[in-house]
Amino acid sequence: MQRLSKLLAIHRTELPPVLLSASYFFTVLCGYNFLRPVREAMGVSGGMNDLRWLFAVTSVVSLVVVLCFGGLVARTNRRKFIPIAYLLVIVCLLLFSGILILDIASGGGLIGSSSETDLSRLVGYVFFVWLSVANLFVTSVFWAFMVDIYTVEQGKRVFAFIGIGGTLGALIGGWATSIISSSTESPYLPVGLMLTGAAFFGLSIFLVLLLDRITGGDAPSSSITREFDSQKVPEVDGPFWEGLRAVLSSPYLLGIGLYVILMAISNTLIYFAQANIVFTNTDTFSERVAGFAQFDALAQALTLITQLFITTHLIKRLGVGWTLSILPAVTILGFATLSIWTAYGVMAIFQAVHRATRYAVARPARETLFSVVSTSEKYKAKPVVDVFLYRGGDLAGVGVEGAFAAIGLSISGIAGATIPLAGIWSLLSLRLARTQDQHKGVADAK
């Protein structure tokens, strides 16, 4: 145990909750990556125009769900609403699976197949929107829990390792989905993948309850986390709209929101290029699931390498601001490369590097920004940023991509258009880091 603590640069007393946190993140992302390729295949099967509309619908649904989520948070503490959130995901997956089984048994087929029914198409589109929203909630809740039980300084040391646990789960989930999808054309493929994802989310509930017990139960934990009263876990009070109001009234939270919007726009441009490649190079639903799963596995493998050899000490050495600015730089370089050399392999590498930077570098740094805000803002304003503003950035990205397609703008034109935005994005990263230091200084003075 002592050798492991030294190897990971984690204090010995911190190791049990950190390992448990990494395992918790493993189950969340492994379960999700059994579902993500199914979502992508369902979304793209109706064509690129339908995919653009799905993105628009997703952004609207996100707003409604964020407000409802705020209402749930206002009435419960984390011991209750985190397990409830994952339990709702499991229930929805069981419902989707049941409907698909009944439709297939009655002679229907999957979306995009020759035997496709109106019901299967509707289920596919609803599943796309639902998972797009649910994914951001399950990961947002996870990181909100992490910044609640670890201090700012601890987060800089342990979040990268915790992220590795999630990446391993995503890599294994994507790799397994690719193998399964490549070996079968069964109409029950999405059902099997949904049920597998549900099982992993069930394991997540067990792990989050265990982690909550370790960090807030009877065992002393003041040396490894913030002090918790085992009988008085902080309630998140206030009406459900306070999350949105907190974001709009705080320049700091607005800055984080703008960072997320710019990130989402770049993600969407890359995503549509990738989706178009898969759509034009595959014929069946299983092939599309396998294609998206292969893209995911490549991205997660590169993410893991980045986390193991780069991320662990990156935030400590560069600071939060410069670490956040790496993603804008990767975006500029990637589009510039595509403008010179447009090929399937280049696209695959670009999206892998971009996603690796986003998850392994930018995400841990961005999550530390929430370490200096109140408990209410972590659980109520944070979902507004992570879900609604993220999806708003997706919607903006769809508009940008659609405008580029309408005027026939080449990839070099897209690259040129992203440079000013990426410059603003980089400056914003540095500004957020300075503001975080100011908030921390005020909190320490108190």
Residue 341 lies in a domain: yes
pLDDT per residue rounded down to tens, the chain (446 residues): 556 555 556 777 778 888 999 999 999 999 999 999 999 999 888 787 888 888 888 877 876 776 676 555 555 566 677 888 899 999 999 999 999 999 888 876 666 666 677 788 888 999 999 998 888 778 878 887 887 788 777 777 788 788 889 889 999 999 999 999 999 888 899 999 999 999 999 999 999 999 888 876 433 333 333 433 333 444 444 554 667 788 888 888 899 999 999 998 888 888 887 887 788 777 788 889 998 898 888 888 888 887 777 766 677 777 778 888 889 888 888 887 877 776 667 777 888 888 888 877 888 788 888 877 777 676 677 777 877 788 788 888 888 888 877 777 766 677 677 777 788 888 898 888 888 888 766 555 55
Q: What is the pLDDT of residue 283?
A: 79
Q: What is the pLDDT of residue 181?
A: 93
Residue 362 lies in a domain: yes
Q: What is the pLDDT of residue 119?
A: 83
pTM of the model: 0.76
CATH number of 245's domain: 1.20.1250.20
Residue 2 lies in a domain: no
Query: What b/e sequence results for 81-104 when a residue is b if at least 16 CB atoms lie within 10 Å of its CB, and e otherwise?
Result: bbbebbeebbebbeebbebbeebb
CB-based contacts of 445: which residues, under 8 Å, 6+ apart? none
CB distance 37 to 174 below 8 Å = yes
Residue 4 lies in a domain: no
Residue 1 lies in a domain: no
* Burial of residue 404, with CB atoms counted within 10 A of its CB: 0-12 exposed, 13-18 middle, 19 or more buried: middle
Q: What is the pLDDT of residue 62?
A: 74
Total domain count for the chain? 1
Residue 3 lies in a domain: no
Residue 439 lies in a domain: yes
Supply the angle between the helices 15-44 and 152-182 in degrees, to the nearest 10.
Answer: 40
Q: What DSSP letter does each residue of 7-25 carry, written as one string?
A: HHT--GGGHHHHHHHHHHH
Instruction: Report the alpha-carbon distance of residue 322 to residue 357 in Å, rounded.
Output: 13
- Domain limits at 67? 10-445
Residue 231 lies in a domain: yes
Q: What is the pLDDT of residue 9?
A: 60
